[in-house]
């Protein structure tokens, strides 16, 4: 049986890069994002979702399910799709909400917008982990929560987004401690500055062409997915670092 990965925010940017990488490593995939058209285009590019697979592409299975990751019903649908594929080895909580753009200072931050940021960046990952936990326990799987340097630095204007990621970092570490005996690994990953749509939204009207494309993180993902989940569990990695260390238990 092929390994299975579930990736949120998968239609473009970092999520699409990870999905492509795992497809090439013969994973079956459950992919989600808000935009159905972009999501299905990615699925077609991977295995011919709804059409003929491109020459040389591995014929893995893809379940592309568009929707709001903060919606509990959508979370159940995603985990149900993984269950239909037979297992779940990797859950990547990549979907994020930047919040208002231009980025407002916290003193003027619209609280309704902050609630939405927290719903997508904090509550949704935890809800999806809770829903997927039986499958992750069965496979000895790995949860990857995508963080940001904004969680630690306190950049002006980034307080809403950064606070959601700081809270996610604590959830990541706590879950790693709580789930170790169950055999489930949980890690946080700061992918670094990249040339993505969300990064452009953070700097409207500015030229961000000097930022690297998300493909710059591929060496890290190849390394991470080659490690035993409990060997890396509890760590917070910088994907664009020169090297990465294993400091947990080896299984």
In the set 161, 164, 233, 237, the catalytic residue is 161
Active site residue 161: yes
Query: Which of the residues 11, 147, 148, 164 is marked catalytic?
Result: 147
Of 173, 206, 208, residue with least CA distance to 188: 173
Return the number of other C-beta atoms located less than 10 Å from residue 208's C-beta.
13
By C-alpha distance, which of 154, 244, 240, 144 is closest to 193? Answer: 240
The catalytic position among 109, 139, 165, 233 is 165
Residues forming beta bridges with residue 146, ordered by sequence position: 189
Whether omega for the bond prior to residue 232 falls within 30 degrees of 0, making it cis, is: no
Let me know if 155 is a catalytic residue. Answer: no
What is the three-class DSSP state of 144? strand
Do 73 and 127 contact (CB within 8 A), yes or no? no
- Is 165 a residue of the active site? yes
Catalytic site residues? Answer: 147, 161, 165
């Amino acid at each position: 049986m092929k390994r299975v990965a579930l990736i949120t925010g998968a239609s473009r940017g970092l999520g699409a890069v990870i999905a492509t990488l795992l497809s090439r490593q013969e994973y079956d995939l459950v992919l989600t994002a808000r935009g159905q058209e972009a999501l299905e285009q990615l699925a077609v590019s991977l295995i011919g979702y709804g059409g003929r697979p491109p020459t040389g592409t591995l014929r893995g299975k893809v379940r592309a399910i568009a929707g709001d990751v903060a919606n509990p019903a959508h979370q159940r649908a995603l985990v149900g799709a993984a269950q239909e594929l037979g297992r779940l080895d990797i859950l990547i909580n990549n979907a994020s909400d930047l919040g208002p753009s231009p980025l407002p200072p916290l003193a003027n931050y619209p609280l309704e917008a902050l609630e939405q940021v927290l719903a997508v960046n904090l509550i949704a990952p935890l809800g999806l982990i809770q829903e997927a936990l039986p499958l992750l326990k069965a496979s000895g799987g790995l949860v990857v929560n995508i963080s940001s340097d904004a969680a630690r630095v306190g950049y002006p204007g980034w307080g809403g987004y950064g606070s959601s990621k700081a809270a996610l970092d604590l959830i990541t570490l706590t879950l790693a401690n709580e789930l170790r005996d169950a055999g489930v690994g949980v890690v946080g990953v700061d992918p670094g500055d990249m040339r993505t749509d969300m990064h452009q939204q953070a700097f409207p009207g500015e030229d961000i062409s000097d930022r690297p494309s998300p493909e710059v993180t591929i060496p890290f993902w190849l390394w991470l997915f080659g490690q035993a989940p409990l060997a890396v569990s509890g760590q917070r990695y910088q994907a664009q670092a020169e090297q990465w260390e294993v400091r947990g238990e080896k299984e």
